[in-house]
Amino acid sequence: MISTTIPINENFRLEALKSLDILDTESEKEFDEITALANFICDTEIALISLVDIDRQWFKSKNGIHICETPRNNSLCSYAVLQPNQPLIIKDTREDDRFNTSPIFLEEKPIIFYAGIPLVDKNGFALGTLCVMDNKPRELSEKQLESLNALAKQVVILFELNKKNNDLEKIQQKLKKRNESLREFARVISHDLKMPLANIITSTDLLKLILKDKLDKESLEYFEYIKTSSFSMSNYINDVLDHYESESLINNSPEEFYLNHLLKEIVDLLSIKPNFNIHFPEGNPMIKSNKLALKQVFFNLIGNSIKYNDKEQIIISIEASQDKKFYFFRVTDNGMGIPEDKLTTIFDLFTTANVTDRSGNKGNGIGLSTVKKLIQNLGGSIKVISEEKIRTTFEFSIKKVY
């Protein structure tokens, strides 16, 4: 048995080890390749990535044995972490006074030769070792030792990358829960606010009807303002709800459909008037995708092309093409255009181009953010090209599904 060896900074060292969240995790190819390479370079029987825990040494990777851990008080690696800045090289444990009181075995294999490189984190704590062992006396060449040192540094880098990935995963889980809470909040708020708003609109019309002979022009304008504001608030609530419910659209299964049929459904929903001229894609291409998500994208883009258009005759042109991996779409209108300094932020949530629409209302900056979110979830991307007072073109792609 090896006498118990405890570093003077043991509590801090153990805290650093625990913070990695790597103890008792599954084997990973990246670590196993390192121990296999260490055995090959040093021509040894056993190679380990050993982490020295409070009362055991646990092997993140092992090459040459099958056990996952051994007691710390029978661990050469626990001795190696005492001096983080230098390797522990033992040519023959039987001739070393520190370890020759009794034979050292791993799976009944006698450990005669040992070389361990401490795995030192960025704060200087030795978490364990990358070590090689053999059942006969050996020596490592300078190049072999340099290679073992380089591999040990790669192990530490992998530890840090694993921790960052774990931290990111935890953050993503928190964000997912928060988004779920926000979606539920938006749903509840929309339900609770829509009915009062509907009552305000109805009551406004009723009061105007009852008091029509008693109201002057200014009073009627106030009633109209109340009604218009209520409709604006209702639209805002709908847009917020659409944004947070866009995640659920992605869960729909892909289906095949003709693009122009989908676009004509949207035209009917938007109740387009005679002064709107829409050109559909040539050939009426067949699309296989998430139909409801793509419908929401086109509904927003076409709706914006109509709302933000100051021309007497509104013209919208929609084009489609594809390659082996993606569908490509282009929506162009002859509308107001987007100021150049707003082009880079137009897809940000609650960001607008600071222009009023055809009816004199200002947007809320939710629609295009929802569009971008949906397109990204469909595996694509979107960009905008615009000339003020002339035209705006939205180009986007979505990934094909098979």
Q: What is the pLDDT of residues 138-153, one digit of tens each?
A: 999 999 999 999 999 9
Distance CA(287)–CA(358), nearest Å, equals 32
Distance CA(79)–CA(109), nearest Å, equals 20
**CATH 3.30.450.40, the chain: domain bounds:** 10-169
Q: How confident is the model at residue 77 (pLDDT cuts 50, 70, 90)?
A: very high
Beta strands in 292-389 (DSSP E): 314-322, 326-333, 382-387
pLDDT surpasses 80 at 210: yes
Distance CA(302)–CA(300), nearest Å, equals 6
10-169 classified as CATH 3.30.450.40: yes
Give the mean pLDDT of 64-88.
Answer: 91
Q: Decide: 297 and 374 in contact? Cβ < 8 Å.
A: yes
pLDDT surpasses 70 at 361: no
Residue 195 in tokens: 């009915």
Predicted confidence at residue 1, as pLDDT, reads 46
What CA–CA distances, in Å, run from 284 to 257, 262, 280, 303, 365?
Answer: 10, 10, 8, 21, 32
pLDDT surpasses 70 at 360: no
Q: Which of 178-182, 242-246, 272-276, 331-335 tops mean pLDDT?
A: 331-335
CATH topology of domain 251-402: Heat Shock Protein 90 (3.30.565)
Distance CA(211)–CA(213), nearest Å, equals 6
Average per-residue pLDDT in the chain? 86
What is residue 129's three-state secondary structure?
strand
155-169, 341-355, 379-393: which has the minimum mean pLDDT? 341-355
pLDDT surpasses 70 at 365: no
pLDDT (tens digit per residue) in 275-321: 788 999 999 999 999 888 898 899 889 988 988 888 889 999 999 99
Sheet holding 382-387, edge to edge: 276-279, 314-322, 326-333, 391-399, 382-387
Predicted confidence at residue 295, as pLDDT, reads 87
Give the mean pLDDT of 23-46.
Answer: 95
Give the mean pLDDT of 24-42.
Answer: 95
Q: Decide: 41 and 13 in contact? Cβ < 8 Å.
A: no
Q: At a CB cut-off of 8 Å and minimum separation 6, what does 246 contact? A: 293, 296, 370, 373, 374, 377
- The secondary structure of the chain in percent helix, strand, coil, rounded to multiples of 5, reads 45, 20, 35
Q: Decide: 279 and 316 in contact? Cβ < 8 Å.
A: yes
Q: Where are the alpha helices (DSSP H) in 81-216?
A: 142-210
**CATH 3.30.565.10, the chain: domain bounds:** 251-402
Query: HSE (CB half, 13 Å, CA atoms) of 3?
Result: 6
Q: Decide: 339 and 353 in contact? Cβ < 8 Å.
A: yes
Q: Where are the alpha helices (DSSP H) in 211-309?
A: 217-249, 259-270, 291-307
Q: How confident is the model at residue 246 (pLDDT cuts 50, 70, 90)?
A: low
Give the mean pLDDT of 75-85.
Answer: 91
Predicted confidence at residue 250, as pLDDT, reads 67
Distance CA(18)–CA(128), nearest Å, equals 12
Q: How confident is the model at residue 216 (pLDDT cuts 50, 70, 90)?
A: confident
Predicted confidence at residue 351, as pLDDT, reads 66
Q: At a CB cut-off of 8 Å and minimum separation 6, what does 358 contact? A: 306, 307, 308, 309, 310
Which amino acid type is present at position 348? Answer: D
State the Cα torsion 204-207-212-215 to the nearest 10°.
-80
Distance CA(187)–CA(239), nearest Å, equals 11
pLDDT surpasses 50 at 44: yes
Predicted confidence at residue 239, as pLDDT, reads 62
* Percent of all residues in the chain with a pLDDT value above 90, rounded to a whole number: 50
Give the mean pLDDT of 257-281.
Answer: 85
Which amino acid type is present at position 89? Answer: I
More confident residue, 300 or 198: 300
Q: How confident is the model at residue 241 (pLDDT cuts 50, 70, 90)?
A: low
Give the mean pLDDT of 227-251.
Answer: 66
More confident residue, 137 or 107: 137
DSSP output for 188-226: HHHHHHHHHHHHHHHHHHHHHHHTTTT--HHHHHHHHHH
More confident residue, 185 or 256: 256
Residue 129 in tokens: 């070792």
Give the mean pLDDT of 355-367.
Answer: 64
Distance CA(380)–CA(359), nearest Å, equals 32
pTM higher than 0.75 for the full model?
no
Q: How confident is the model at residue 397 (pLDDT cuts 50, 70, 90)?
A: very high
